[in-house]
């Protein structure tokens, strides 16, 4: 069972010293190792993606280093029939549902091979506009309820998203309709350079749940077991027809917002160092070792397996043939205006010219990866 820390944060993992470890009912040794495998998979994906970005092999990338416990703990509390609505911060969560690494890396390469049919994995498209997927998730969850199906939905968003109208609409709609939805807030303390204190006057983000008439829980976002347990309770409520729950998972962003960001201009660097020391994969590894569940050999095997998966993923993504530029126009409008044909011809002319000029060479990066970037 989770214990509640001061500040109302639930946690299960101790610190190996004065704070004792807890246990989560219903998780056996194999489940505990599965959680570790998923954590290492996401950590490896994230660290390799930053390298691929610096090598010019993927575009702007939203780093999720130290968010893995929130993503893994919550995703493991779901059944396969349940739907996941990720934001850009959870771009790789589909790996836990079997989406190939090459597909996700293709997405960050801006390549159409990065698209998937959401119904194949019950994982919706990665949402970049802040909070616009919250009403989508509420609608899907409501639809499941209307059809008498048992599936629930979870939607992931950040602290900044709670200031958006779409968040409010989705949360209120889900509560009024008793939609089986988990509103999972990754509160990492920052919306790019805007701190939480400038985002809200609410004492906690979970307090907002009261206004919608749903329960709000706060959990240590670096504790994969506490996140799992809190999400499992929310899933059980949703499946039992009791409606949505707001889960606030609290951490502190320990990496740049994205590869286009240099947080040294605004962040509390001492706090970042502190967060890095207690990062979530290491904390869970300590827990497993104290239980005698993880040997050095197993650790190495899991890590090298994840690294191999990434090598294969990037090789496959890079082997995709360049898409034809006509794809940009084909599905935009049911009755395309004649100007589209001219635009496409112009695009082909420009691309032909840049290809001759070697546009595919890697882009330079600044100290924190800053460079000529897109936006996430």
User: What does the binding site for ligand TPP look like in residue numbers (CB under 6 A)?
Assistant: 89, 128-130, 157-161, 186, 188, 190-192, 257, 376
The answer to whether 257 is a known catalytic residue is: yes
275 touches Mg ion (CB under 5 A): no
Cβ(284)–Cβ(37) under 8 Å? no
Rule CB under 5 A: is residue 159 a binding residue for Mg ion?
yes
Distance CA 123, CA 191 (A): 24
Is the Cβ of residue 158 or residue 243 nearer to Mg ion in the bound state? 158
Quote helix, strand, coil % in the chain, to nearest 5.
Answer: 50, 10, 40
**Measuring CA to CA, how many Å separate 97 from each of 76, 85, 312, 330?**
10, 12, 18, 30
Q: Alpha-carbon distance 303 to 228, whole Å?
A: 22
90 makes contact with Mg ion (CB under 5 A): no
Q: Which is nearer to ligand TPP, 106 or 199 (CB)?
A: 199
Smallest separation (angstroms) from Mg ion to the CB of 202: 15
Asked whether position 66 contacts Mg ion by CB under 5 A, the answer is no
Q: Which is nearer to ligand TPP, 32 or 161 (CB)?
A: 161
Of 73 and 221, which has the nearer Cβ to Mg ion?
221
Integer Cα distance of 173 and 202 in angstroms: 21
Neighbours of 90 (CB within 10 A): 28
3-class SS of residue 291: coil
- Minimum gap (Å) between residue 266 Cβ and Mg ion: 13
Catalytic residue among 111, 145, 257, 283: 257
Catalytic residue list contains 316: no
Nearest residue to the partner ligand TPP, using Cβ = 158
State the minimum distance, in angstroms, from the CB of residue 63 to ligand TPP.
Answer: 10
CB of 220 to Mg ion, least distance (A): 16
* Nearest distance in Å: CB 199, Mg ion: 9
Q: Which of 42, 45, 53, 44 is nearest to 261 (CA)?
A: 53
Whole-angstrom Cα distance, residue 315 to residue 107?
14
Residues that bind Mg ion (CB under 5 A): 158-159, 188, 190-191
Which residues are identified as catalytic?
253, 257, 266
């Amino acid at each position: 069972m989770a214990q509640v820390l001061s500040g109302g944060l639930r946690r299960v993992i101790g610190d190996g010293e004065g704070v004792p470890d807890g246990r989560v009912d219903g998780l056996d040794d194999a489940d505990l190792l599965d959680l570790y495998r998923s954590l290492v998979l996401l950590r490896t994906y994230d660290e390799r993606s930053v390298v691929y970005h610096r090598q010019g092999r993927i575009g702007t990338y939203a780093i999720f280093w130290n968010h893995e416990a929130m993503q893994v703990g919550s995703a493991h509390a779901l059944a396969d029939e349940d739907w996941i609505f990720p934001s850009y911060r959870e771009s790789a969560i589909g790996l836990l549902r079997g989406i190939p690494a090459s597909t996700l890396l293709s997405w960050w390469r801006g390549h159409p091979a990065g698209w998937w049919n959401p119904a194949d994995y019950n994982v919706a498209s990665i949402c970049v506009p802040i909070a616009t997927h919250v009403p989508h998730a509420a609608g899907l969850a409501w639809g499941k309820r209307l059809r008498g199906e048992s599936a629930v939905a979870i939607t992931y968003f950040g602290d900044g998203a709670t200031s958006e109208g779409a968040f409010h609409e989705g949360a209120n709609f889900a509560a009024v309709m008793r939609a089986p939805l988990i509103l999972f807030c990754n509160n990492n303390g920052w919306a790019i350079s805007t701190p939480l204190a400038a985002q809200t006057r609410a004492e906690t983000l979970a307090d907002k749940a009261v206004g919608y008439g749903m329960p709000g829980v706060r959990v240590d976002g670096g504790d994969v077991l506490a996140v799992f347990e809190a999400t499992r309770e929310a899933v059980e409520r949703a499946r039992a027809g009791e409606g949505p729950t707001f889960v606030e998972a609290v951490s502190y962003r320990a990496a740049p917002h994205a590869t286009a960001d240099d947080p040294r201009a605004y962040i509390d660097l001492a706090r970042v160092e502190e967060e890095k020391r207690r990062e979530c994969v290491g904390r869970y590894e300590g827990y497993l070792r104290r239980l005698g569940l993880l040997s050095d050999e197993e650790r190495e095997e899991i890590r090298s397996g994840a690294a191999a998966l990434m090598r294969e993923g990037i090789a496959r993504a890079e082997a995709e043939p360049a898409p034809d530029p006509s794809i940009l126009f084909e599905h935009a409008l049911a009755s395309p205006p004649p100007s589209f044909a001219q635009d496409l011809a112009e695009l082909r002319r420009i691309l032909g010219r840049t290809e001759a000029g070697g546009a595919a060479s890697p882009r330079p990066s600044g100290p924190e990866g800053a460079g000529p970037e897109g936006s996430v």
